[in-house]
């Protein structure tokens, strides 16, 4: 049988969350002695548990300590899904705000490496044609198709397309170019 002492010693962050003792939780997190992403036997991180229980103070403390919002428990539920299930708009807002911030910083962290790989790759031009077809007569005429033209020079990329969108009953055509300038001060 699992005792309280066992839980306190093996899962101290989870224990603080369970009791909503956010002051002790903050102290433990400040020491950086415990893994903030450690999962319990149900696959929940301390943040997942805090959100599931609806403990706003503990959630705020864990988010301030940069707990990962993009994790799942053993049942495949994410922190955001758990926040929605609580029905607490303030809790959901906190979780969504942190999730968006973590996604943004994750994407931005990969940009210098991407720019460097683009710069090192040989320059090229490629055309990619795609089209939808159907075995139903006359349906293929209504399906979209397009040819993307991709130009790469240095760390810059240009993509030309003629399919702009859909307006009620027909596909809108025109010329559109997307230009990604990969300039970086580190080069």
* Domain positions in the chain: 4-116, 121-180
For residue 186, the model assigns a pLDDT of 42
Q: Which residue has the higher pLDDT, 61 or 134?
A: 61
Per-residue pLDDT, averaged over 156-177, amounts to 82
Question: What is the overall mean pLDDT for the chain?
Answer: 88
Q: Which residue has the higher pLDDT, 133 or 17?
A: 17
Task: Give the least confident one: 21-35, 78-92, 105-119.
Answer: 105-119
Q: Is 183 exposed, middle or buried (0-12, 13-18, 19+ CB in 10 A)?
A: exposed
Per-residue pLDDT, averaged over 31-37, amounts to 92
Residue 143 has pLDDT above 90, yes or no: no
Residue 50 has pLDDT above 90, yes or no: yes
Tell me the pLDDT tens digit for each residue of 98-137: 999 999 998 888 878 878 888 888 999 999 998 878 888 7
The hierarchical CATH code for the domain 4-116 is 1.25.40.20
Percent of the chain with pLDDT over 90: 52
For residues 149 and 160, the answer to whether their CB atoms sit within 8 Å is yes
Q: Which residue has the higher pLDDT, 187 or 170?
A: 170
Distance between CA atoms of 133 and 28, rounded to whole angstroms? 60
Please tell me whether residue 85 adopts helix, strand or coil conformation. Answer: helix
Distance between CA atoms of 28 and 12, rounded to whole angstroms? 8
Residue 187 has pLDDT above 50, yes or no: no
């Amino acid at each position: 049988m699992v005792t309280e002492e066992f839980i306190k010693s093996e899962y101290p962050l989870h224990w603080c969350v369970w009791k909503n003792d956010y002051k002790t939780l903050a102290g433990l997190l400040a020491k950086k002695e415990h893994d903030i992403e450690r999962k319990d036997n149900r696959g929940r991180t301390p943040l997942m548990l805090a959100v599931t229980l609806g403990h706003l103070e503990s959630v705020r403390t864990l988010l301030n300590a940069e707990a990962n919002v993009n994790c799942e428990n053993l049942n495949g539920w994410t922190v955001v899904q758990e926040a929605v299930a609580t029905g607490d708009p303030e809790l959901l807002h906190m979780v969504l705000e942190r999730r968006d911030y973590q996604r943004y910083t994750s994407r931005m962290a990969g940009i210098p490496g991407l720019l460097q790989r683009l710069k090192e790759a040989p320059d090229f031009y490629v055309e990619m044609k795609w089209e939808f077809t159907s075995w139903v007569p006359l349906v293929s005429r209504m399906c979209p198709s397009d040819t993307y033209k991709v130009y790469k020079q240095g760390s810059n990329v240009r993509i030309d397309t003629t399919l702009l969108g859909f307006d009620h009953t027909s596909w809108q055509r025109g010329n559109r170019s997307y230009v990604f300038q990969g300039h970086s001060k580190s080069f």
